[in-house]
Amino acid sequence: MTDRTGPLPEIRFSTSKHVSRHDVERAREVFTRVLAHAPEPVLAVQVTLSVLTDPAAKNPSMASIRVDLNGRPVNAHAAAPAMGQAIAMTGDRLRIRLERMARHWEARRDRALRSLPRQAQSA
């Protein structure tokens, strides 16, 4: 994956009342680090952090991120027993999706170049 160019847009957060400031800052750090390697420009980022108050929930902490990657939506989410785990899992899933998108983009670009006439390729 290549490093993206240009500044990262502000990450917008939506949280439930049981999410701490520390969790929001941790999510900002993790997602900023992952998005710094996006294969295309990041146009918008929305993060939702929430904690279920149901004591029967096995994974009450949930994190999700929605990214506008040059007009294409990229989503990742996870639930875990603790918010730190949910953030880390979501960051890992986002990284995997971005890597997959970069591979698909390079494959499409290579196919397009191979389909061009030889003279256009050397010009």
State pLDDT tens for residues 69-114.
Answer: 999 999 999 999 999 999 999 999 999 999 998 876 655 555 555 5
DSSP for 45-101, please give it: EEEEEEE---TT-SS-EEEEEEEEETTEEEEEEEEESSHHHHHHHHHHHHHHHHHHH
Residue 27 falls within a domain, yes or no?
yes
Residue 120 falls within a domain, yes or no?
no
Domain that holds residue 50: 11-112
Residue 26 falls within a domain, yes or no?
yes
Number of domains in the chain: 1
% of the chain residues with pLDDT over 90: 69
CATH code for the domain of 100:
3.30.160.100
Structure confidence at residue 116 (pLDDT):
57
Q: Indicate yes or no: pTM above 0.75.
A: yes
